[in-house]
Amino acid sequence: MKARHFIIIAIAAVQILLAGATARAADPVSLDSLLHEMIDRNAIAQLPSPWYTCKQASSYDRKSTGASDGETWFANGDASQYIREETNGDRHEWVMMDEAGPGAIVRIWSANPKGTLRIYLDGEAEPALEAPMDQLLGGTWSVDDVTVGQPLSAERSRGWNLYLPIPYEKHCKITSDSNGFYYQVNYRTYDKGAKVESFSTYQLVKAADLLDRVQRSLGQAPAAAGGPTLQANGQLENGSRLELTLAPGPAAVATITCRIKADDYADALRQLVLVAEFDEEPTVWAPVGDFFGSGIGVNSFQDWYRTVEADGGALLTSRWIMPYQKSGKVRLEYLGTAEVDADLAVTSTWWIWDDRSMHFHAHWRQEDPIATRPMHDWNYINMSGRGIYVGDTLAVANPVEAWWGEGDEKIYVDGESFPSHFGTGTEDYYGYAWCCPEPFTDPFHAQPRCDGPGNYGHTTVSRVRLLDGIPFRKSLIFDIEVWHWKDCNIGYAATTFLYARPGAIHNRLAQPEEAERGALDPPPLPPPFTIAGAIECENLDVTAHSDGLEYGPQAMAGFGRETWSNDSHFWVRGTKIGDYVELEVPCDSKGPVEVTLHATRSWDYGIVQFSINGKQAGNPVDFFSGAQGVCKASGPIDLGTFRPASGKLTLRAEVVGGNPDAVGTQAYFGLDCVVLESAK
């Protein structure tokens, strides 16, 4: 190995005033203090003051009552589950959360927000916040020209998210006047005696400048950290390393930057491992691709703590604050065989070490293959000690197009017998929805890689926790269900990020033999299934549609191969009765033809009437699948016999109703293909 080390000495050092933005025990928790805390990178590295727990209210299937019942423990009816239904005058309201304070809401998510969301605080009869749920979670809600927009409120790959903190002094109840949706609410509960100022829209308007600054800060690339910088670079061979010994503490790592050049980045970023020790405790061991949130290969993205850029190679930056009292070491260890060029830089800053200061932890676990049957809970990490859980990255290798992530997270804090965080699906935990294979990047969560078609191949998802970190006094266990739609073998690699007081222990030992395996690619897919004579609806021209209608192709192999022709369909996302679309079906027959349609049935689909060339084609078809979570092909639908006009048939599909058991707008539908045969 060829390497050199040098130190860039800072001209000046700036003292970090740790008590500045973080609420002191004597100061009230408020909208302002929580917004400041959100963008204070130092706050997360200290034990909370005042102390709080973080729990989750969600629409998880209430049949899941205990791990001893293997069938119900993995129940998947995760919509329309509420605490209760109430009558408020002539209005029905479904209660999503009902908790005593002092506390604060720190995250609300939904896959299909419906109705008006109302947040009642401190037992008041009138809500402190009342807004259409899709606006509040979709970045368009405002009061007196103050908009809670991106990234505090945004739709990401069909998941709707709100990160605006909503504190309350005594009590919080959240309702919607509609039902049939999925939801998660993360909330803090402070220790008794903590002072909290309850949220009001007046406070929100008053905090307009601060809100704008926070939204801009979250959405911008942060300035480079100043302070002493250590660097090492060289050409790495198998078994070689670059190591930096940090200046004596107390101090803190502010940034870690790695620049990598390799012939095969998929292998290199898995076989090159980042290791860190603070105060002689090993606290970080993870492949650089996973540590920096890229997963397999170089997948550009940026969240609050990390940036990945394809900059003539791989440029990886971490902004996790890593305090230490006396000593620290950071190094790269290379387990591969092909040479790689690496540059490691660590910038430090001052830190005041006290009895609230914590060490940073990052721990990696890979298992490949994992059998998806029987369903089971897969452990991210067990941690004993005192600290706070602050995020994770999951890299998945899926051998089929079917959805891999129905699994719910189950997080147990301080010896709980039942998890205080019980989720509604893996993609819901990561802030998106409906197994959507669309990349996104956001300060709080990201999906920088999703190969496709469908959910086949490599997927990388991350969630980092700012206000929704999970403190623990004694222990934390994080499990996630392996809940795949197919019986197959899948690969998981999870990296967990925590802060903990010195002496904390965990169950995630280093796995050099797993990292040495490099990128584990799933086998290639067989060619797509096709129906004989199919004219694929996703390839047809749209000649007319109702205003504002959304439509386009959707990969369907994730719901089952050899089911939809060309493994896809034409997906129409209506919002109301009367929405329609017209497709031009080419037909060169001189005489009449028999028209057969293949379509899709799903849990949120409507009742559709078809017509061809302006004439009704058959009776209305109810495309509700019969059960939540079920999506299946319709089979052949006989639309009748029609004569083409000018070498084409105009197929019109119009929503005329909805099944009362369907969820969502009940105005979605999907068209697979049309088969034409000469009439006898």
Q: Which amino acid is at 470?
A: I
Beta 593-602 vs 457-464: how paired, if at all? unpaired
Beta 306-309 vs 387-398: how paired, if at all? unpaired
pTM of structure: 0.86
pLDDT band at 12 (very low <50, low <70, confident <90, very high): very low
**In 3D, which of 540, 495, 517, 606 has the Cα closest to residue 337?**
517
Say if residue 512's pLDDT is above 50: yes
Say if residue 10's pLDDT is above 60: no
Say if residue 665's pLDDT is above 90: no
State residue 1's pLDDT score: 44
- In DSSP notation, 556-583 reads -GGG-TTTSGGGEEEEEE--STT-EEEE
Say if residue 424's pLDDT is above 60: yes
583-639, pLDDT tens digit by residue? 999 999 989 999 999 999 998 899 999 999 999 999 999 999 998 778 999 999 999
DSSP state of 72: G
| Cis before 374? omega within 30 | yes
DSSP state of 421: E
Number of H helices, E strands in the chain: 8, 48
What is the set of domains in the chain, with CATH numbers?
31-219 (2.60.120.1390), 534-678 (2.60.120.260)
Instruction: Compute the distance between CA of residue 659 and CA of residue 605 in angstroms, rounded to an integer.
Output: 8
The answer to whether the CB of 537 falls within 8 A of the CB of 671 is yes
State residue 220's pLDDT score: 85
Backbone angles phi, psi at 265, to 5 degrees: -75, -30
| Cis before 369? omega within 30 | yes
Mean local confidence (pLDDT), 300-323: 95
State residue 71's pLDDT score: 81
Identify each DSSP E strand in 319-415 by its residue range.
322-324, 328-334, 340-350, 359-371, 376-384, 387-398, 409-413
31-38 and 208-219 helices, crossing angle to 10°: 20
Average pLDDT, the chain: 93
Q: Which amino acid is at 487?
A: D
Q: Which two tokens stand for residue 126?
A: 């009138």
Q: Which two tokens stand for residue 438?
A: 């669309």
State residue 581's pLDDT score: 98
Mean local confidence (pLDDT), 16-43: 76
**Residues above pLDDT 70, as percent of the chain:** 96
Please count the residues of the chain. 680
150-172, pLDDT tens digit by residue? 999 999 999 999 999 999 999 99
Mean local confidence (pLDDT), 213-230: 86
3-state helix, strand, coil in the chain (%, to 5): 10, 45, 45
- In DSSP notation, 103-154 reads EEEEEEEESS--SEEEEEETT-SS-SEEEEHHHHHHT--EETTEE--TTTEE
Residue 481 vs residues 148, 372, 427: alpha-carbon distances, Å: 34, 10, 12
Cβ-proximal residues to 119 (8 Å cutoff; 6+ apart), any chain: 105, 127, 128, 129, 130, 166, 172, 173, 174, 199
Cβ-proximal residues to 342 (8 Å cutoff; 6+ apart), any chain: 233, 234, 235, 236, 242, 258, 259, 260, 261, 272, 332, 334
Say if residue 557's pLDDT is above 90: no
Backbone angles phi, psi at 136, to 5 degrees: -65, -35
Instruction: Compute the distance between CA of residue 114 and CA of residue 175 in angstroms, rounded to an integer.
Output: 11
pLDDT band at 17 (very low <50, low <70, confident <90, very high): very low
**In 3D, which of 183, 182, 139 has the Cα closest to residue 163?**
139
The answer to whether the CB of 271 falls within 8 A of the CB of 516 is yes
The answer to whether the CB of 604 falls within 8 A of the CB of 666 is yes
The answer to whether the CB of 179 falls within 8 A of the CB of 45 is no
Say if residue 181's pLDDT is above 80: yes
State residue 26's pLDDT score: 67
Sign for the CA dihedral angle at 346, 352, 354, 356 comes to negative
The span from the first CA to the last CA of the chain, in angstroms, equals 78
pLDDT band at 224 (very low <50, low <70, confident <90, very high): low
Burial class (CB in 10 A: 0-12, 13-18, 19+), 14: exposed
| Cis before 512? omega within 30 | no
Burial class (CB in 10 A: 0-12, 13-18, 19+), 98: middle
Instruction: Compute the distance between CA of residue 7 and CA of residue 14 in angstroms, rounded to an integer.
Output: 18
Lowest mean pLDDT among 66-80, 351-365, 601-615: 66-80
- In DSSP notation, 159-204 reads EEEE---EEESSEEEEEES--S--EEEEEEEEPTT--BPPP-HHHH
Bridge partner residues of 584 (DSSP): 541, 650
Lowest mean pLDDT among 23-32, 173-182, 512-521: 23-32
